[in-house]
Amino acid sequence: MNNTLIKGLQLLELIVRSDRPRALSELAMSIGVGKSSVHRLLQGLVESGYLEKDVEKGSYRATLRIWELGQSMDAVTAIKAASADAMARLLGRTRETVHLSVLQGNEVVYLAKLDSPEPVRAYSEVGGRAPAHCVATGKALLAWLPKETLAPLSKRLKRHTPSTITEPAAFLQEMEHVRSSGFAVNHGEWRDAVWGVAAPIRRSDGVPLAAIGISGPASRIKAKPLREFADEVLSAARSISSRL
């Protein structure tokens, strides 16, 4: 592992666990690294928002960003726990792969999944990422972002299949449709032969936290009325939201 990274993490942990701001000299002594090297590490942590410097005293302390990261992990754990039963029911009712996703920037990250029992199924992996504008769980989350965020995003959409929506006006119209219907559909926009349906999981104030959806071969999804899948996904999303 990169030695600089290790020393940076040691430094951050030392400051976070301290009951007072720490000066450069004592930090250098504590981790056994020269002052110039520690100063560079500290500057990087300050610029990244993890530390703040008291200019007058020359000491460093942790910011709330560490706490925010911890809160995010708590939220992920809570979402996964609250979603387990609903995901299992959704799998049983649709027989398609079930995904639980969160939005990170312009991508979704898969927190959990249950594979379809069918021999041919959609492929994905927990911890994997996908462009949010191309998949159902991503569109279910993007649609609720502020217009001032969606507008610039709509101008830099990358095409992955012939079905990917990349024209700004069409994308914004798609987002409006998701908001009005409450669910999103992926018509082979990330992988040609894979379709999906998803809905947002919300906090008590209505703000989306994550999304739950199903995906499978386009031929199977097309074989049933899309509304049937949508109703099942919406029911699962409401169940998880109420548990949260």
Q: What is the pLDDT of residues 117-129, one digit of tens each?
A: 988 877 778 888 9
Give the separation between CA 141 and CA 133, rounded to whole angstroms: 9
- Lowest average pLDDT, out of 37-46, 118-127, 162-171, goes to 118-127
Q: State the pLDDT confidence band at 183, using cuts at 50, 70 and 90.
A: very high
Which fold, 3-63?
Arc Repressor Mutant, subunit A (1.10.10)
From CA 196, how far away is CA 145, in angstroms rounded? 21
Q: What is the dihedral of CA 139, 140, 144, 147, to 10 degrees?
A: 20
CATH 3.30.450.40 fits 72-243, yes or no: yes
**Band (186; pLDDT cuts 50, 70, 90):** very high
Q: What's the pLDDT at 131?
A: 95
Instruction: Please give the C-alpha separations between residue 164 and each of 150, 154, 158, 189, 236, in angstroms, as whole numbers.
Output: 16, 12, 8, 4, 26
Domain spans of the chain, in order of start: 3-63, 72-243
pLDDT beyond 70 at 171: yes
The answer to whether the CB of 53 falls within 8 A of the CB of 15 is no
What mean pLDDT value characterizes the chain?
90
pLDDT score recorded for residue 56: 82
- Say yes or no to pLDDT of 214 above 90: yes
Instruction: Tell me the C-alpha distance between 119 and 41, whole Å.
Output: 51
pTM for the full predicted model: 0.72
Q: What is the pLDDT of residue 128?
A: 86
Averaged pLDDT for residues 188-202:
94
